[in-house]
Amino acid sequence: MPFDRIMISKRHSFSTFEPNMMKMRSLKLMVLTLTLMAMNVLNSKAQTIDVSKLKPASRTDTSFVVGSGDTQSHLPMIIFKGKEKGPVFTIVAGIHGYEYPPIVAVQELINEIDVQTLKGTLIVLPMANVAAFYGRTPFLNPLDAKNLNNAFPGSANGTVTEQIAHLISTVIIPQSDVFLDIHAGDANEDLLPFVCYYNNTSTPKQTALARTLSLASGFEYVVAYPYTLTETEPAKYAFKQATQKGITALSFEAGKLGNVQTDQVRAIKVGVYSLLSHLKMQSLKNISKVKTISLDNQVYIKVPQSGLFYSELKAGDKVKKGEKLGYIANEFGTKLEDVVSTADGIILYKIGTPPVNKGETLFCIGY
């Protein structure tokens, strides 16, 4: 379903907001007014949602219809309206439906948020790619074989994946003061837990806040990605789309190989609560601080040719430039080529299963 019925109402100001954020957002909280056909999970009724008219200390659950016919799906959303005014903080999980730790963590979080003590508005998309989740499909939405994390800003009249991206781009992101996109290692990805943001020098205040929040998140490794997008280039990724639009954005990466690791679920939850505390949206005690390691540069080692990849290394291992990382063999067991590191650093993520295809990212090394 095209989202051309969406309207955004006037802003209203608020007083309880972190000083640097107040400057960034001109002392105003943008109010969500979504006028579109929405499907309630229980009764499939059309709804009009106006967050400014929601009662304080309330929770609203709804789902937006996307696609049509055999490719129709929905995008669930939960809005927590705090008892007091404050910033709009958006959390998105499940852009890749096979990345389970973020989805499980958010499922726990949505039953723990106390709207009585919440300041501001918390928007949660607990499962952005519903079809991929239930289809157990790595990376792609099985309804149109598209990667949602490569589809932003999307299209109102596009495929179901493009419509989801369009909805998030045009309705959710513009209403956000802080945008958090939570990921994990997909079915074939071995991954070191880290928090990341884009070093967008054209929006220094937002970038500085993204770094500050990253340092406060409780993750040991903080990764800064370079930002080179022009205003008209497609962002592809959700939190890069937010960054492009001048929103403070960051991403958690926790979990690996398409499994649920309870320690990574906990790390995600600690990270979210740490951000809520830092934004003064909730007063939380016992938020632990860790010594952080900043990795502001990355090199990507691509698969030189398709085959079976063998390596004894794992995410988090330190490597040296020129070090052998593994090798590729063909289906007959013949060794084809060694894979060698091009930098000193730490493996952020790698392909953790044998099959590899030419041109894929085999290793990302941070330093």
Q: How far, in Å, CA of 56 to CA of 75, rounded? A: 24
Beta bridge partners of 327: 310, 338
Q: What is the pLDDT of residue 208?
A: 98
Q: Which domains does the chain have, with CATH numbers?
A: 12-293 (3.40.630.10), 298-366 (2.40.50.100)
Q: Which residues contact 50 (CB under 8 A, 6 or more apart)?
A: 9, 31, 32, 33, 34
Low-confidence ranges of the chain (pLDDT < 50): 1-48
Query: Distances in Å between the alpha carbon of 270 and those of 183, 221, 266?
Result: 15, 15, 6
Q: What is the pLDDT of residue 51?
A: 65
Q: What is the pLDDT of residue 284?
A: 81
Beta bridge partners of 73: 66
Query: Distances in Å between the alpha carbon of 147 and those of 27, 41, 86, 152, 348?
Result: 36, 24, 34, 10, 21
- Residue written as token pair 């890749």: 96
Token pair recorded at residue 303: 């698969």
Query: Distances in Å between the alpha carbon of 120 and those of 11, 154, 336?
Result: 14, 28, 57
Q: What is the pLDDT of residue 15?
A: 33
Quick count: other Cβ atoms within 10 Å of Cβ 289? 9
